[in-house]
Structure 1
Amino acid sequence: MNDVEHTLDAAAALFGTAQRILFITGAGISADSGLPTYRGIGGLYHERLTAEGLSIEEALSGEMMTHRPDICWRYIAEIEANCRGAQPNAAHRLIAALEHEKPAVWVLTQNVDGLHRAAGSRKLIEIHGTVHHLRCTECPHERDVPDFSGLALPPACPVCGGLLRPDVVLFGEMLPQQGMDRLEAVLLGGIDLVVSIGTTSVFPYIAGPVWWAQQQGIPSIEINPGDTEVSRLVTHRLRMGAADALTAIWRRLHRPDPAED
């Protein structure tokens, strides 16, 4: 048995006994749906500037949305165009399936693509929001959109003429307090396993639950082809793509033939 098989077996054993699981997901989990991983290996904005010579953090900032919404919207629309038509992959679907088998399976995601929700996950903290919900910056108007096709950029509110923006957290903006409170409640309620998938974990609130798990003696698993901020902290590390890793773990938990056990 090689090291990967051994780690998959160990990970599957943890999944099998855990009743309360927290998944933390980033762009890497959507890679098998054809979406770019932004900062990750081969990402849309990996080591390149925008046409204006800006970092993506500058272009997609709250300050840019306020002062140059045309620039901010240009790159929000580019991200949405790369997400358009994407469907949940095996990783999204298997996490949703586990939610039906366990008392508590939570997902804390940085992704704004909506694929966890489309796969059926309901115990979901979309900490960065979703590109599919627009809100006016001047009045209470808000609405859902399937995509940005047909939108004039930047779009104007049909009610007051103010600026519409996606209900997402831009760089430099505060996280939604409701989402942070929900995460805190999940951790205080008790977790048996933390699984970090497809995220570099550069944000403290994403790395935080893994640090917390280590301090509490709670096992953790990382699924990521590259090195991250939490790689040295986790109990088990799988240098694999999300769909391959979760499919392999699922097959160990759901043997089709008793003779395979």
Structure 2
Amino acid sequence: MNLADARTALARARRVAVLTGAGISAESGIPTFRDAQTGHWARFKPEDLASPDAYFRDPELVWDWYAGRYRDVMAAMPNAGHNLLAQMEQEKGDGFFLATQNVDGLHARAGSKRLVELHGNLTTARCEVCHRVEDLPAPQDFTPPPTCATCGGRMRPNIVWFGEFLPEAALEAAADAFAAADVALIIGTSGVVYPAAGLAFETLDRGGTVIEINPTETDLTPRLSFSVRETAARGLELLLGA
């Protein structure tokens, strides 16, 4: 398959499923989880900041970390990649589905609605008692930890931490969409984090086309239909003729 074939396949597809990773938000200036561990945070291991055990030991430390990331995310804006996927959803209608591994909320801010956030969303918090999910206050008004408006319980970051399972309903919806897809797009993800990385094979195993957009080769590359060696935004522009 070449670029022209890939463009034709995507244009003709009635059902399109998309998986995005950190690469699509890099152009908005959002650092990856590990890239964000600079300065004071460089001395911590990931599991010291993003695990149930870490939160149990020191919830204030964990909330300080996520409050900083929340401020960074809210200062960023969706980029052309986010916007092109939102436009694709409008064109494909019910045949479009987007699953993201990102927790920055930028897809929703760009207008994507047929969306599942597999790893949660750091602009929201979840009650430890009644499990209600609420938006965080504006960064300038936010003092962690937030308190549940329903029951008054303490709320935790609404993120899937190390050692936790992905939300079952979101993962099932993604698997169903990729299994039914004529074309799947794998954008800006390394392809090493499962079960999300396995979604591409749901499409391939049923005869669909899987197109990767990534500046570098990934573990998935040899098994996919075609790869565009570009950033997320530029790769989508090439595929869509934008």
| 2:208 is the counterpart of 1:232 | no
Contact conserved, 1:207 with 1:229, CA < 8 A, in 2? no
The aligned residue for residue 120 of structure 2 is 129
Amino acid at match of 2:126: R
Instruction: Decide which of 59, 66, 72 is 1:76's aligned counterpart.
Output: 66
Aligned to 1:60: 50
Post-superposition shift, 1:212? 2.6
Deviates more, 1:233-242 or 1:206-215: 206-215
Cross-structure match for 1:34: 29
User: Which residue does 1:248 correspond to in 2?
Assistant: 238
User: Which residue identity lines up with residue 158 of structure 2 in the other structure?
Assistant: D
Letter in 2 for 1:237: S
State the shift of 1:157 in Å.
4.6
Task: Please state whether the residue corresponding to 2:63 is helix, strand or coil.
Answer: helix
- Partners of 1:144 and 1:251 lie apart in 2 by 36
Find the aligned partners of 2:111 and 2:148 in 1 and give their Cα distance. Answer: 31
Aligned-partner residue type, residue 43 of structure 2: G
Residue type of the alignment partner of 1:170: W
> Any unmatched runs of 5+ in structure 2?
none
Which entry has the higher C-alpha Rg, 1 or 2?
A: 1
How far the C-alpha of 1:107 sits from its partner, in A, is 0.4
Matches within 5 A, 1:99-178: 99-103=89-93, 104-139=95-130, 142-157=133-148, 162-178=153-169
Query: Which residue of structure 2 lines up, in the alignment, with residue 201 of structure 1?
Result: 191
Please point out which of 80, 94, 97 is paired with 1:90.
Answer: 80
Q: 1:181 aligns with which of 158, 166, 172?
A: 172
Aligned residues: 241
Counterpart residue number, 1:44: 36
2:50 and 2:62 in contact (8 A); partners too = yes
- Cross-structure match for 1:255: none
Among candidates 8, 13, 19, match of residue 13 of structure 1 = 8
The question of whether the paired residues in 2 share the 8 Å contact of 1:133 and 1:142 is answered with yes
SS at match of 1:237: strand
- Aligned partners of 1:100 and 1:136: how far apart in 2? 34
Please give the secondary structure, in 2, of the residue aligned with 1:70: helix
In 2, distance between residues paired with 1:192 and 1:49?
45
CA-to-partner distance for each residue in 1:148-207, whole Å, 9 max, x for gaps?
Answer: 43333344556766432122211111211111221233244x110111111112222211
**AA in 1 matched with 2:36:** L
Whole-Å separation in 1 of the counterparts to 2:205 and 2:146: 47
Deviations 1:197-230, CA, capped at 9 Å, x for gaps:
1111222221111123333332111111133221
SS in 2 for 1:74: helix
Identical aligned residues as a percent: 34
Q: What are the ranges of 5 or more consecutive residues in structure 1 without an aligned counterpart?
A: 1-5, 253-261
Cα gap change, 1:58 to 1:10, in 2 (>3 Å) = farther
C-alpha distance in structure 2 between counterparts of 1:203 and 1:229, whole Å:
10
> In 2, are the aligned partners of 1:129 and 1:169 still within 8 Å (CA)?
yes
Aligned counterpart, 1:259 = none
> What TM-score do you get using the length of structure 1 for normalisation?
0.82
Indicate yes or no: 2:200 matched with 1:210.
yes
